[in-house]
Amino acid sequence: MVGDAQAASDARPRVSVLVVDDHRTFTDLVRLALDAEPDFECVGAAHTVAVARVLAARHRPDVVLMDVNLKSEDGLDLTAELVATRPELRVVVLTAHGDKRVMKRAAVAGACALLPKDGSLPELLESLRGARAGEFRVHPALLHHLVVEDPDPVPMAGTGPSLTPRERRVLELLAQGRDVRGIARELAISVHTCRGYVKALLSKLGAHSQLEAVAAARAQGLLDDLRR
């Protein structure tokens, strides 16, 4: 009976994890730790956004462990991009500076957990196991920043900002992957005017990029009733 249970456990598919961090020593250590666990499989480590995109498309991991700062690149922008492409993807974000801005951006980008980078390995493994798409868990060490210091919490689904009909149309086209020039042609408006609408959307959605705005709109239910 024990042998049968062990065989069943071994036959279970392992959780595939992609590690994205620009510190090679850190990624090497995390890979070793994951490969030592029977329920994990590390499918790769990326030190740049470009490599992360390639590995994510090639391996389609269950979970991405993402650092916020990738030298001159932004891990949260990459998080929003990956989640927009695969909504079921679980992204666990690591940060050395868990201030309110980082927490808000991580939530809006679609991350499902935010951890301090100096946390313990058992906590990291537990978060990777417990990560669920559509949730946002913040490590207790970071919670006081979110609760005490952030006067403007991330809006919950269904409670998003009010958009004008034209802003809603621009948002719909952004969600379809159209760029500003293409949207301007579609709506027969100038590029300058279109950029004004995009700027207004970024402000209303608390986003810093067009990808992040689309992710925020999805999280807030603003795309549920838009034309497809």
Our CA angle for 114, 150, 201, nearest 5°, is 85
Indicate whether 6 belongs to any domain.
Answer: no
Residues of the chain with pLDDT > 70, as a percent, come to: 84
Average pLDDT, the chain: 83
Indicate whether 97 belongs to any domain.
Answer: yes
CATH of the domain at 185: 1.10.10.10
Indicate whether 15 belongs to any domain.
Answer: yes
CB 215 within 8 A of CB 84: yes
89 and 119 fall within a common domain:
yes
pLDDT tens profile 147-193: 555 444 444 444 567 888 888 889 888 888 888 888 988 888 888 88
pLDDT at residue number 11: 55
195 and 130 fall within a common domain:
no
pTM (2 d.p.): 0.62
pLDDT tens profile 121-152: 999 999 999 889 888 888 887 775 555 554 44
Total domain count, the chain: 2
> Which of 106, 122, 149 delimits the end of a domain?
149
Range of the domain at 211: 165-219
Indicate whether 212 belongs to any domain.
Answer: yes
131 and 186 fall within a common domain:
no
User: What DSSP line would sit under 98-120, residue for residue?
Assistant: --HHHHHHHHHHT-SEEEETTS-
pLDDT at residue number 70: 85
